[in-house]
């Protein structure tokens, strides 16, 4: 046997002995254990979440603690709370989770890589020492809704941080957050949604984020400004930007930004206006575009039809004008969710056009002059929502639509003018909502597949027995029935 094989076998035997020794004795590092026990003393644990954290036990076996297989140093601490109480309708109850103070001395564990304290009820952050770490790459304090974080300067001490999740904490007093996160050289993802932030430095041209940044989520804050210039000058590595629900005003830039790799852009629920710039149609990797509930106007760019990767396009609730036709969707073969409508849009599709996509959900508003015929080619559609429209003026259209609707799981028709008699219509969808549709004539019939049925503000006549004649007691699934006018 040659010497190389002998050396290799000796190393293997030694590693096996070390592994066995760690399984039969306490391998937890004493310094790590001391830090963890100190953390436990400083928190309120009403549900006994940390009951396994006992001095006489190996801390590598404690709940939420993960140690390195060889060094036995603590590398992951996952104490996220997911307490649901069946007696309280399975609602999340943070009061039964960890509460009190997050002492940053917890991060003195020098090999700690990941810290997850999300969905608890912590209220403050403090520090007994100056903490610096070159190993911590993930921190999640999100959904501690009573946690007040006065500043984020402490984040800059962790040079290896890649993932920061602080959503649904209170950062109202932090005005320099951009400064502290841009100094992190390895940052990949930052989530600061619903943090009560107010300052986003809208006039700043460039924010020196790490070139590895891919995801930035600033949704549901209170910026009340124009869109920040720096957001469109981020590096080309950025994949996802969420600026929704922030009271932003103004227009999108006219020039193509440096966001060539962007896959998701969420701008919904703001006060943005002006036209949609043509550069959006050049984002070849874009899969999600949310621009609904703004004040965008003008024509939809025809080159949106070139976005062959697009899966979700939600643009309803704007002031678009002009004609929407098959040219706006020419190459969108992957589209799954489409939401579109405006009082000043005209839908003018070739009645013989067959789309390259098969939708799963469709939301149409202000349809005129009539339903597009391509709707009936969508055999994968499970959700259909039509509002503020007038349709079904011909008997043939009436039969065609309701026959098609019977194949859809969720049907929601709101504030439409729907003509035609429904007394011979059999509704088969699991969830049906018919609100304020100016319906006249006879009540429809419900199949035994209907689970939820709501009908309000109509002039339909007929008996409940007619409505339920196909909903036999032996096999019906009906759980909710609301006919406010009957």
CA distance 65 to 49: 12
CA distance 305 to 280: 11
CA distance 312 to 231: 22
DSSP 474: T
pLDDT in tens, 317-337: 999 999 999 999 999 999 999
pLDDT score, position 329: 96
CA distance 253 to 262: 16
- CATH fold of 275-371 reads 3.80.10
pLDDT in tens, 428-482: 999 999 999 888 888 889 999 999 999 987 777 767 777 777 766 556 788 998 8
For residues 136-149, give the mean pLDDT.
96
pLDDT score, position 29: 93
* pLDDT at residue 4 greater than cutoff 70: no
Nearest Cα to Cα of residue 400 among 408, 392, 411: 392
CA distance 395 to 406: 17
The phi, psi pair for 387, rounded to 5°, reads: -135, 155
pLDDT score, position 263: 98
Are the C-beta atoms of 365 and 342 separated by less than 8 Å? Answer: yes
- Lowest-confidence segment of 132-136, 212-216, 316-320 by average pLDDT: 132-136
CA distance 259 to 238: 7
Nearest Cα to Cα of residue 53 among 130, 124, 106: 106
Angle at 362 between CA 356 and CA 365, to 5 degrees: 120
* pLDDT at residue 21 greater than cutoff 50: no
Are the C-beta atoms of 304 and 284 separated by less than 8 Å? Answer: no
For residues 365-378, give the mean pLDDT.
88
The phi, psi pair for 16, rounded to 5°, reads: -65, -40
Handedness of CA 294, 299, 305, 306 (dihedral sign): negative
Banded pLDDT at 257 (limits 50, 70, 90): confident
Q: Which two tokens stand for residue 432?
A: 């049906």
For residues 260-284, give the mean pLDDT.
96
pLDDT score, position 181: 96
* pLDDT at residue 118 greater than cutoff 80: yes
Tell me how far CA of residue 325 lies from CA of 268, 270, 292, 363, in angstroms: 23, 27, 19, 16
Are the C-beta atoms of 151 and 173 separated by less than 8 Å? Answer: yes
* pLDDT at residue 26 greater than cutoff 60: no
| Domains of the chain by residue range | 275-371, 382-486
CA distance 306 to 293: 24
Highest mean pLDDT among 93-102, 351-360, 384-393, 442-451: 351-360
Q: Which two tokens stand for residue 400?
A: 């065609």
What is the chain's mean pLDDT, rounded?
89
CA distance 153 to 155: 5
pLDDT in tens, 39-81: 999 999 988 999 999 999 999 999 999 999 999 999 999 999 9
CA distance 459 to 468: 18
């Amino acid at each position: 046997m040659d010497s190389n094989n002998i050396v290799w076998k000796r190393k293997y035997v030694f590693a096996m002995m070390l592994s066995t020794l760690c399984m039969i004795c306490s391998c937890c590092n004493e310094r790590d254990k001391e830090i963890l026990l100190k953390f436990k003393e400083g928190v309120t644990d009403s549900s006994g979440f940390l009951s396994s954290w006992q001095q006489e036990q190996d801390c590598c076996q404690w709940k939420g603690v993960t140690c390195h297989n060889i060094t036995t140093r603590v590398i992951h601490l996952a104490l996220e709370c997911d307490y649901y109480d069946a007696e309280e309708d399975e609602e999340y109850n943070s009061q039964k989770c960890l509460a009190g103070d997050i002492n940053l001395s917890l991060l003195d564990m020098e090999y700690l890589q990941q810290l997850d304290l999300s969905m608890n009820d912590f209220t403050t952050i403090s520090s007994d020492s100056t903490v610096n770490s070159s190993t911590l790459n993930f921190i999640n304090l999100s959904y501690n809704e009573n946690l007040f974080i006065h500043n984020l300067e402490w984040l800059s001490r962790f040079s290896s941080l890649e993932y920061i999740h602080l959503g649904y904490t209170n950062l109202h007093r932090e005005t320099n957050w951009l400064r502290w996160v841009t100094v992190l050289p390895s940052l990949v993802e930052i989530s600061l949604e619903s943090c009560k932030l107010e300052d986003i430095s809208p006039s700043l041209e460039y924010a020196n984020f790490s070139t590895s940044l891919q995801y930035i989520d600033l949704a549901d804050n209170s910026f009340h400004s124009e869109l920040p210039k720096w957001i469109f000058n981020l590096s080309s590595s950025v994949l996802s930007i969420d600026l929704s629900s922030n009271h932003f005003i103004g227009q999108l830039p006219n020039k193509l930004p440096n966001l060539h790799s962007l896959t998701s852009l969420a701008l919904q629920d703001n006060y943005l206006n002006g036209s949609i710039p043509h550069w959006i149609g050049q984002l070849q990797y874009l899969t999600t575009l949310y621009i609904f509930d703004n004040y965008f106007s003008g024509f939809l760019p025809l080159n949106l039809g070139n976005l062959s990767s697009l899966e979700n396009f939600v643009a309803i609730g704007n002031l678009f004008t002009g004609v929407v036709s098959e040219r706006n969707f020419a190459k969108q073969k992957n589209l799954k969710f489409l939401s579109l409508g405006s009082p000043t849009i005209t839908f003018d599709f070739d009645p013989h056009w067959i789309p390259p996509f098969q939708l799963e959900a469709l939301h149409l508003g202000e349809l005129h002059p009539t339903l597009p015929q391509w709707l009936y080619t969508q055999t994968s559609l499970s959700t259909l929502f039509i509002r503020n429209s007038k349709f079904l003026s011909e008997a043939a259209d009436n039969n065609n639509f309701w026959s098609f609707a019977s194949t859809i799981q969720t049907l929601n028709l709101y504030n439409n003018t729907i003509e035609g008699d429904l007394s011979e219509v059999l509704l088969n969808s699991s969830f049906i909502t018919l609100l304020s549709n100016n319906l006249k004539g006879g009540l429809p019939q419900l199949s035994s597949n209907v689970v939820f049925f709501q009908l309000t503000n109509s002039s339909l006549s007929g008996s409940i027995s007619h409505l339920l004649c196909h909903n036999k007691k032996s096999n019906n699934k009906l759980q909710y029935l609301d006919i406010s006018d009957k």
